[in-house]
Chain A
């Protein structure tokens, strides 16, 4: 089981993705011949500068934005922190109320909790059993003191896609800024910041086959936003720090590739995902699909298997070369299972027994076959050990 030559079946693309060869190739010259600091005046630095400018155009084109509205930073968490803290602080004389949801990424939730400790007030909207936010609930939560609504485009755990355009319209109707964490959505959900009424949008390069440690915040022109990282005048004076030029160039190339044919990409991935879901649910009794049946990221499958615990599932899958993830507390060292699964109404036991498989561009139907061969055996083995398994549950036979 510790055979390092064993083939890896990587099904955790919501955690991170591999970098596409085209992305690596685009970055390579910026480690070597174009190593200049984009802020330097001599002609030699122009190569770095033009790499950053080109990437800015690539990102803006992918979002329906203007290049001048794209600000590079160090990743999705920084973009979320910047958007939320920056908007809350810049608009605090207008009000101290923020609306978000119970299923946001911790980069948003923990930022909001920090703002609460600074005297801000935050409403965490609930979601339905599929993980969807009700736009009417957003509207109902808006008060005179509300300055920001932050709702993710798509959830990282269960893949549920939110009615972002509707929420954006509501926010704007009330003169409230709208931020969306699109970290999981870029390349999977077509984004148009104009049509969707988005003022602030966070994205992260490594979720769409780009480099880790890269991200961007879209800031609609004339949006009042405090800086988060103070220092030099990079990014038009809004985000200090010498640009991660190779990373920015890689992010640009990656977003261009990821958004070139979203529909075709989704069709291919969803075909594999749908077969995976169908066959898992039909071969493993007492299993369920978490999240929305249709309004979900094309690559996301999130299951709960009763009577068993997720970390055990993960480690037995790992022993067979499959990389997956779980919302069980036992995998994170915390005591509470996934806040997202609990928000959709799952019991603790069901949340502990969750398994997330997220497909990616290198996965094939053969990979799905392999998971379908291994997973029932893994669940069956753990159910044989579990005191919760009712007698004769129709547990798949174990060799």
Chain B
């Protein structure tokens, strides 16, 4: 059901772990839904110098986290904000329909981390229109920040 790229990314994920002195941290998902994604950012100037993740979830969630953190390294915060879930899916080749929400989760975790960075600096957050990709309201999955 998964592409070769997804399996390779899942079995050999990059950027796993915390950044102890992260400048921004974003967490989305819930154990109820079966996936939690936490993304840590190290920011230098307005660029992402390091991005790491911790994920509880399926292969698609882990592969999406690994790919997304790789993609945003070196991006400006504004560029990373604009990373879409479709970009993540494209980089992974494809995701099964039922797993597309994992790529949405990666985008949302990045946005939550960026807004956490902005909040820590006393800057107003960029607007998030967080839409739960699971089953709508009440599933308990939401960005911690933003």
A residues with a Cβ closer than 8 A to B are 1-2, 307-309, 311-312, 315-316, 319, 328-331, 333, 335, 337, 347-349, 352, 384-388
Contact = CB atoms under 8 A, between A and B. Distances in A.
Contacts of B37: 387
B64 to A, nearest CB: 12
Interface residues of B, number: 31
Nearest to B38: A387
Interface in B1-41: 2, 4, 7, 10-11, 13, 16-17, 27, 31-38
Given A312-B62, A335-B134, A386 B35 contact: no
B58 A330 contact: yes
A315 B33 CA distance: 19
A323 to B, nearest CB: 15
Nearest to A332: B98
Given A319-B11, A385-B16, A312 B31 contact: no
B56 interface: yes
B103 interface: no
B58 A384 contact: no
Contact of A315 (B35, B59, B98): B59
18 contacts: A309-B35, A309-B56, A309-B57, A312-B10, A312-B62, A315-B11, A315-B59, A328-B34, A330-B35, A330-B60, A330-B61, A347-B31, A387-B27, A387-B36, A387-B38, A387-B55, A387-B56, A388-B56
A335 B33 contact: yes
Contacts of B76: none
B93 interface: no
Contacts of B56: 307-309, 385-388
Given A1-B11, A312-B10, A385-B13, A348 B55 contact: no
A311 B58 CA distance: 5
Nearest to B33: A335
Contacts of A387: 27, 36-38, 54-56
Given A312-B62, A349-B31, A384-B16, 10 more contacts: A309-B34, A309-B35, A309-B57, A315-B7, A315-B11, A328-B34, A330-B57, A348-B34, A387-B37, A388-B56
B96 A315 contact: no
B17 to A, nearest CB: 8
Contact of B55 (A335, A347, A385): A385
A347 B55 CA distance: 19
A2 B2 CA distance: 13
A315 B57 CA distance: 12
Top 10 nearest A-B pairs by Cβ distance?
A: A387-B54, A330-B58, A333-B98, A349-B31, A311-B58, A387-B38, A352-B34, A348-B32, A386-B56, A315-B59
A333 B96 contact: yes
Nearest to A314: B59
- Scoring B10, B57, B134 by chain A CB atoms within 10 A of each residue's CB, the highest score goes to B57
Contacts of A2: 4
Contacts of A335: 33-34, 134-135, 139
B134 A312 contact: no
B133 to A, nearest CB: 10
A1 B96 contact: no
Nearest to A326: B58
A388 B59 contact: no
A333 to B, nearest CB: 4
A329 B27 CA distance: 21
Contacts of B16: 384-385
Contacts of B60: 330
Contacts of B96: 333
A379 to B, nearest CB: 13
Contacts of A316: 11
A337 B134 CA distance: 13
Contacts of A311: 58-59
B54 A385 contact: yes
A316 B10 CA distance: 9
Contacts of B7: 1, 315, 319
Contacts of B135: 335
A386 B37 CA distance: 9
